[in-house]
C-alpha cells in the first residue's frame, strides 16, 4: 500500500505541471456557462421551470454525455499517459521502488479520479445554476444521476483508450479512437438491436435512454467490461518488457 501511495503522490505532482485539472474542471464550466447564457438572454428567461430544466437536461446530454465525456476523456487519458512517453521516463520510473502494480494503479486511479471530479463538478455547477436563475429545486436526475450514469457506463471505453495510450506514445491515437467511438456509439445507440455490441453506446443508453431495462443493462455492461478491461490492461502492463 505504501508503494501505491508513493506512486499516487508522484502522479499528483506531475499533474500540477499539466493542464489536466483545468481540462477536467473547465469543460463543466463551459457547459453550464452556455446554459446560463441561454437561460438568461433568450426567450427561455420567461419560460416555466419545467421547460428550463428540459433545456438544461438537453444541453447536458448533448455536450457532456454525447461529446465532452468521450472526447475530453480521451484527450485527458492521452495527456496523462503521455507524461512518461514524451520524456522517455519509463525505464527510470520502473526502476524505482514502487512496483509496476503500484505505478499502473496510481496512474489509473489518477485518470478515473480526474474524470469523476469533472463529473461531480458539473453537478455542483448545475446546483449553482439553480440558485442564480431561480428555476426551482435541483433535479438530481439531471445534475448528478445522468452524468454519473454516463461515467460508469463509459468505464470500458476509458479503459480501452487508456490501454492504447499506455502502449503507444502517439497522442493522436487515443484521440482518434475517442472520435471514432463517439460516431459509432451515437449511431449504435439509436438501434434497439445493435447498441449492446458497441461499448461507446452504453453511456448514451445508460444516461439518456428511454427504456429503463436497457439503461440498467448498459450500466451492468459498463461495470463488468470496464473492470475486465482494466484488469487485462494491468496484467499486460506488468508482464510486458516496457509500456511502450
CA 172 – CA 184 distance, rounded (Å): 18
- pLDDT of the residue at 149: 94
CA 92 – CA 148 distance, rounded (Å): 37
pLDDT in tens, 135-162: 888 889 889 999 999 999 999 999 999 9
**Phi then psi for 59, rounded to 5 degrees?**
-70, -35
Kindly tell me if the per-residue pLDDT of 216 is higher than 90: yes
**Rounded to two decimals, what is the model's pTM?**
0.90
Q: Which one, of 81, 53, 74, lies nearest residue 185 by Cα?
A: 74
Question: Which DSSP string corresponds to 74-90?
Answer: HHHHHHHHHHHHHHT-H
Burial of 122 per CB tally in 10 Å (0-12, 13-18, 19+): buried
Banded pLDDT at 88 (limits 50, 70, 90): low
Q: Which of 6-10, 50-54, 82-86 has the lowest mean pLDDT?
A: 82-86
Q: Which of 29-38, 103-112, 168-177, 209-218 has the lowest mean pLDDT?
A: 168-177
pLDDT in tens, 68-81: 888 888 889 988 88
Residue 196 DSSP one-character state: G
- How does the average pLDDT of the chain come out, rounded? 86
pLDDT in tens, 15-57: 877 888 888 999 999 999 998 998 888 777 778 888 888 888 8
CA 64 – CA 119 distance, rounded (Å): 9
Kindly tell me if the per-residue pLDDT of 242 is higher than 60: no
CA 182 – CA 69 distance, rounded (Å): 9
- pLDDT of the residue at 148: 94
- pLDDT of the residue at 204: 92
Half-sphere exposure of 159 (CA within 13 A, CB side): 22
- pLDDT of the residue at 225: 94
Kindly tell me if the per-residue pLDDT of 1 is higher than 60: no
CA distances from 127 to 116, 134, 142, 147 (A): 17, 10, 10, 14
Instruction: Say if residues 122 and 60 touch (Cβ distance below 8 Å).
Output: yes
CA 221 – CA 188 distance, rounded (Å): 15
Which cell goes with 108?
Answer: 489509473
Amino acid at each position: 500500500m505504501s508503494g501505491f501511495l508513493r506512486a499516487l503522490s508522484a502522479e499528483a505532482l506531475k499533474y500540477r505541471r499539466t493542464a489536466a485539472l483545468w481540462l477536467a474542471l473547465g469543460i463543466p464550466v463551459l457547459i453550464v456557462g452556455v446554459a446560463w447564457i441561454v437561460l438568461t438572454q433568450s426567450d427561455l428567461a420567461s419560460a416555466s421551470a419545467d421547460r428550463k430544466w428540459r433545456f438544461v437536461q438537453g444541453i447536458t446530454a448533448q455536450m457532456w454525455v454525447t461529446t465532452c465525456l468521450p472526447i475530453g476523456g480521451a484527450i485527458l487519458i492521452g495527456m496523462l499517459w503521455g507524461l512518461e512517453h514524451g520524456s522517455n521516463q519509463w525505464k527510470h520510473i520502473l526502476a524505482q521502488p514502487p512496483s509496476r502494480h503500484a505505478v499502473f494503479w496510481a496512474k489509473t486511479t489518477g485518470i478515473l479520479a480526474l474524470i469523476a471530479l469533472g463529473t461531480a463538478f458539473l453537478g455542483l455547477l448545475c446546483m449553482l445554476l439553480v440558485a442564480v436563475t431561480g428555476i426551482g429545486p435541483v433535479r438530481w436526475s439531471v445534475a448528478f444521476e445522468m452524468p454519473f450514469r454516463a461515467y460508469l457506463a463509459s468505464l470500458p471505453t476509458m479503459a480501452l483508450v487508456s490501454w492504447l495510450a499506455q502502449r503507444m506514445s502517439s497522442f493522436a491515437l487515443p484521440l482518434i479512437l475517442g472520435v471514432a467511438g463517439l460516431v459509432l456509439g451515437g449511431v449504435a445507440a439509436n438501434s434497439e438491436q445493435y447498441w449492446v455490441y458497441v461499448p461507446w453506446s452504453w453511456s448514451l443508453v445508460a444516461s439518456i435512454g428511454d427504456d429503463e431495462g436497457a439503461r440498467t443493462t448498459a450500466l451492468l455492461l459498463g461495470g463488468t467490461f470496464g473492470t475486465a478491461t482494466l484488469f487485462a490492461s494491468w496484467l499486460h502492463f506488468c508482464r510486458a518488457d516496457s509500456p511502450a
